[in-house]
Amino acid sequence: MVDKKTIAFPTLLFAIFFILITITGIIQIKIVRNNVNDLLKNQGEILFNHVKREIDINLEYLNLHDKSPSVITPSFLNIIAYDEAIAEDVYTTLTETTPGNLNDTHLENVLIMDEKGKTMARKGNPRVPGSAIQMLVSKKRETVIAMPTSKVQAILMGVRAKEFIIFATIDEDELERFRRRHITREIIENEGKRFDVSGITVYDPTGELYAWTGERNEHAFVLVRPLNSKFLPRYYMEVFLSRVGADEIFKQTMASFVLILVLLALAGAVSTYATFLLAKKYDKKVKEMERDMEVKDRLVSLGKLASGMAHEIRNPLNAISISIQRLKREFAPGDEKKDEYNRFIDIMRGELGRVDHIVEEFLLSTKSRVPFSSENLHNVVEDVVTILHEKGAMKNVTLINNVEKDIVVECQTERIKQAFYNIILNGIEAVAGKGAVEVLSECVGHHVNITVKDNGSGIAEAHVHSIFEYYYTTKDKGIGLGLPISYMIVKDHGGDIKVFSEKGKGTRFIITLPFVQQRTEKLES
């Protein structure tokens, strides 16, 4: 029998080793993840500083252009291109503006007039020349635009809609803010074209979007920093870096770690597989032994109690039986009630016979002091088959004795016959229609296995372990004594009984008994 410590030690050692490797791997993965995040953070810092520097340089050029336009040439800063982009944005905004959403527009100076030139709504202080109004009212033009000049740093935009006319004036201060926004947007759009940049977003001091490019990717690495620009004070910027390269590194690390764990698990499994099998076999054997001991102790206790009670019951039974015989013989009534009287007398005698039979089974099951003798196993089984032949024929059940004829066992003959009788009878009663009960033998080492199998209804798996308990029965007229008595008799002979059954297909009782040689050696020792 395998010692539990033998099983537990290598298993525990392997578990500790596996846990240590796993913890080490997890720590290494965290280190790799932190290193990757640090790498992304450094890349983000470099990109952030580069964008900030570009914004400061270009806005500085813009500031110099406002002070000295002749100094700043298009090779440094193409102001005209920015102003054209601003004009396009203003035009788009005007086409989407109505009197109802006028206050929602980001433009500061807007005027809405009807088709006759009468003011409908106003925002800010728009200064619109009458000539521009007349051009749209007279329908000579659909759009009016005046771009900034060296003398007037402003933009005038007028658009004729279906039901109204709308104007917007961009003064010098607002134009300056528009130029800064477009310069900032162009810079971050250029930087956003890098393969590792998912997006860049700039927010104003109120938290509103100021300029952006790309998309806000939740899976990207995000770096948030104040812009700290003298031209854009209290603005801050978000940089979204793609994790594609970092994730690839992380996946390779994870794959290597998982491979190591798999190889380790396989190596450990190979080294501990046999131990686990032994542990399973050990547990199964222990449970079987515990169950057998429990059943045997219960049967022995009940058997002793039943034996004592059986002896006490037999004496009054004999007296009652004699009294009933005298009643039938000497106290019979007249012819009118004689038949009914005899019927009741026969019923009482039959029931007394049944009780006497039960008592006889109890007494037979406990006669463990009967001497052992060497008997031919085939002949023992044949005697039982002969006794039960008629009972089997009545149910159309064939009894077959295929026990080898040269097997000799040492046994208490009548008791072992009783054990076979109960088991074979159980097989006959389990067959509903035409069937067979066969008795086979197989020598294994110093023991012989006698198999009693039938093709009856079978036993449900939940009931298999209960069939050797006293008074447990599934038959309408059964009393639940036959199989427990057989179990006790076989145990007294140093044997064992195992049951294998499948519902609807039949049952096999395997009775294990020692050879006569083994029994003889045991007695001699």
What is residue 519's predicted lDDT score, i.e. its pLDDT? 39
Could you report the per-residue pLDDT of 203-252, keeping only the tens digit for each?
999 988 888 888 777 778 888 999 888 889 999 999 888 877 777 777 88
Share of the chain above pLDDT 90, in %: 20
Distance CA 489, CA 190 (A): 97
Whether the per-residue pLDDT at 472 is higher than 50: the answer is yes
What is the layout of strands, in order, in the sheet containing 209-214? 209-214, 197-203, 236-241, 221-226
Distance CA 10, CA 12 (A): 5
What is the average pLDDT score of the chain? 81
Could you report the per-residue pLDDT of 52-70, keeping only the tens digit for each?
898 888 888 888 777 766 6
Burial 209-241 (b: 16+ CB within 10 A, else e): ebbbbbeeeeebbbbeeebebebbeebbbbbbb
What is residue 296's predicted lDDT score, i.e. its pLDDT? 67
What is residue 311's predicted lDDT score, i.e. its pLDDT? 65
Cβ neighbours of residue 454 closer than 8 Å, sequence gap 6 or more:
427, 428, 430, 431, 435, 436, 437, 438, 506, 507
Distance CA 99, CA 103 (A): 8
What is residue 468's predicted lDDT score, i.e. its pLDDT? 74
Nearest to 197 by CA among 180, 174, 175, 222: 222
Q: How far apart are the first and last CA of the chain?
A: 24
Whether the per-residue pLDDT at 359 is higher than 80: the answer is no
Cβ neighbours of residue 123 closer than 8 Å, sequence gap 6 or more:
102, 103, 105, 107, 108, 109, 110, 111
Q: Do 422 and 415 touch, CB atoms closer than 8 A?
A: no
What is residue 151's predicted lDDT score, i.e. its pLDDT? 81
Nearest to 225 by CA among 44, 57, 54, 58: 44
What is residue 112's predicted lDDT score, i.e. its pLDDT? 92
Q: Do 227 and 235 touch, CB atoms closer than 8 A?
A: yes
- Sign of the alpha-carbon torsion through 16, 21, 24, 29: negative
Which band of pLDDT confidence, cut at 50, 70 and 90, is reported for residue 347?
Answer: confident
Distance CA 460, CA 483 (A): 16
Query: Can you list the domains of the chain with their CATH numbers?
Result: 1-242 (no CATH), 286-362 (1.10.287), 370-524 (3.30.565.10)
Could you report the per-residue pLDDT of 271-280, keeping only the tens digit for each?
777 777 777 7
